[in-house]
Amino acid sequence: MCRYAFKQYKQHFACFECRKTFKIPFEVTRSEGQIVVNHPTSPVCPECKRPMHSMGLDFHAPKQNNIKQWRKIKVLFAAGWAFHSCGCGSGQRPRLLSEVPAFLAQCSSAKTEGQRLLERFSSKVQ
């Protein structure tokens, strides 16, 4: 069962420059009998004032002095990989920076059913 459906957790944001993470709560408001959850926008780092990145609720930050792991996370994030999930786990990620190129190559070659369907429709439209 998806554990994030039952409790509001704070969203995890990371600053790649300072190598720090911050947890920012969701804003929950009630409007006309309905609950509205406002997801936090991209906040700025309190130290360097640069934008922080939404990493997902399953993100566990490495130690601040572990530069290779922070570089790995930055490369994965730039390629579109974060740690968002419903609470059932965000899937496998490479453990080491040296494993990232093979991981990204494998993931780009393995297309989902939705991606294959979209390509089929796109080719028929053109």
Structure confidence at residue 112 (pLDDT): 66
Domain count, the chain: 1
Q: What average pLDDT score do residues 85-93 get?
A: 67
Domain that residue 102 falls in? 3-125
**Sign of the alpha-carbon torsion through 92, 93, 99, 101:** positive
pLDDT band for 70, please (50, 70, 90 cuts).
Answer: very high
**pLDDT tens for each residue of 37-62:** 666 666 889 899 999 998 888 888 99
Separation between Cα atoms, residue 75 and residue 53, nearest integer Å: 13
pTM check: above 0.85: no
Q: What average pLDDT score do residues 70-95 get?
A: 79
Provide Rg for the chain, Cα atoms.
Answer: 18
